[in-house]
Amino acid sequence: MDKKVGIVGVASYVPEKILTNFDLEKMVDTSDQWIRERTGISERRIADDDMPTSYLATKAGKRALEDANIKPEELDLIIVSTVTPDQFFPSTACIVQKHLGAANATAFDISAACSGLIYAMSAAEQYIKTGFYKNALIIAADALSKITDWQDRNTCVLFGDGAGAFVLSEVEEGGILSIQMGSDGTGDKQLTCPACFFTPEDEEKRNGKKHTTWMNGGEIFKYAVKIMPYALEKAMDKAGITAEQIDWFVPHQANLRIISVAARKFDVDMDKFIVTLEKFGNTSASSIPIALDISIKSGKIKKGDKLAMAAFGGGLTWGSAVIVL
């Protein structure tokens, strides 16, 4: 029989350096008021030049192992979700494995942009459910600042750096009740960082900037306000749970307006939605575990609470989950 899989450790790490909206006012034609009103973001964290994604990921991973009271050598699997790997190869997961001393783990990366934490959780769940592996560490980590075009006000005000991690193992009760995911490659041009391959069309549109993020903000916004409620609904339906039964919604932290649309759709008070984007901006797939970790540490979210998570991102991709902590 399939085993029940749950989150037995949660942690996060953000770099210390803070970049405020007022700092950004000196870099591009923007204002604190515009950024707060249109996104809800006030500040974000920025990794130092000598802090690659593996550094952030290792910090979060180590803390998650401590939280789960599991030794690195007890890990069977490490999955890192990132769109800012240290290098094209080796995988960031292998670098993290080395730093953690998790000698018995298989390690690999996945790429699903901001939905990557859900994708990683779903992959790890399958391995544990079937008994193939016992303990998995999934980490979402990104140093988006390293691929940000700091002259582009459409994107540079949105993103921040950070990492979040879950340890997944077999649990007696509760755990993951449902995971749902989807992808739409027809939206591949809406949010990109080409790096390897540049079409002539990209070349013209991007003004030769191959290694920085470009986004069609309006299109992503339209996608997000549709897909976030859809993703939550799919996961709740599969779990056989209604919005009223959810204790906390933990959404991807991209824009306060996108989160508010989801709250209105389910007629749920905004207080039930965890919002941390004011302090960290959009940290890609790590935004959900960072939000969860902060809320657990502050005593807001407790063991046994029912959580609904939903993310969307480049690809285009989306993913959602209902979990009893």
Name which of 34 and 170 has its Cβ closer to ligand ACO. Answer: 34
Stretch 36-55: interaction string toward ligand ACO, x if CB under 6 A: --xx----------------
Task: Give the residue, chosen from 157, 165, 168, 250, that forms a contact with ligand ACO under the rule CB under 6 A.
Answer: 157
Establish whether 211 is a catalytic residue: no
DSSP 187: G
DSSP state of 276: -
**Amino acid in the structure at residue 148:** T
Among 217, 226, 268, 272, binds ligand ACO (CB under 6 A): 217
Interface segment toward ligand ACO; rule CB under 6 A; list 56-64, 101-109, 193-201, 210-218: 210-218
Q: What DSSP element (H or E) covers 301?
A: none
- Which residue type occupies 65? L
Decide: helix, strand or coil at residue 141. strand
| Buried/exposed code over 90-126 (b: 16+ C-beta within 10 A; e: otherwise) | bbbbbbbbeebebeebbbbbbebbbbbbbbbbbbbbe
27 binds ligand ACO (CB under 6 A): no
Torsion region of 267: left, alpha or beta (phi above 0 gives left; psi -120 to 50 gives alpha): left
DSSP-assigned letters across all residues of 310-323 = EEEETTTEEEEEEE
β-pairing, 306-313 vs 175-183, is unpaired
Cα 262 to Cα 276: distance, rounded to the nearest angstrom: 16
Q: Residue 78's beta-bridge partner residues?
A: 107, 137
Out of 114, 135, 156, 255, pick the active-site residue: 114
Is 21 a catalytic site residue?
no
**Window 109-128: residues binding ligand ACO (CB under 6 A):** 113-114
In angstroms, the CA 105 to CA 70 distance is 13
Catalytic-residue membership of 282: yes
Residues 6 or more apart from 218 whose CB is under 8 A from it? none
Scan residues 60-89 and list those touching ligand ACO (CB under 6 A): none
Identify which range of 34-42, 100-108, 168-176, 178-186 contacts ligand ACO by CB under 6 A: 34-42
Residue 53, C-beta contacts closer than 8 angstroms, at least 6 positions apart: 82, 84, 85, 86, 92, 141, 142, 143, 163
Q: Any contact of residue 218 with ligand ACO (CB under 6 A)?
A: yes
CB of 113 to ligand ACO, least distance (A): 3
* Nearest-approach distance from CB 202 to ligand ACO, in angstroms: 18
Q: How far is the CB of 158 from ligand ACO (least distance, A)?
A: 6
Q: Write each residue from 262 to 301 as x if it is in contact with ligand ACO (CB under 6 A), else as -, in one continuous string.
A: --------------------x-x-----------------
Binding of ligand ACO at residue 254 (CB under 6 A)?
Answer: yes
Q: How far is the CB of 145 from ligand ACO (least distance, A)?
A: 13
Measured CA to CA, the distance from residue 79 to residue 239 in angstroms comes to 25
Q: Does 34 bind ligand ACO (CB under 6 A)?
A: yes
Q: Please pick, from the candidates 3, 25, 30, 306, the single residue that binds ligand ACO as defined by CB under 6 A.
A: 30
Nearer to ligand ACO, 105 or 224 (CB): 224
- Catalytic pick from 21, 135, 156, 252? 252
Residue nearest ligand ACO, CB atom distance: 313
Identify the H or E element spanning 236.
helix 217-239
**Hey, is 165 helix, strand or coil?**
strand
CB nearer to ligand ACO: pick between 185 and 299: 185
Residues that bind ligand ACO (CB under 6 A): 30, 34-35, 38-39, 113-114, 153-154, 157, 191, 215, 217-218, 220-221, 224, 254-255, 282, 284, 313-314
Active site residues: 114, 252, 282
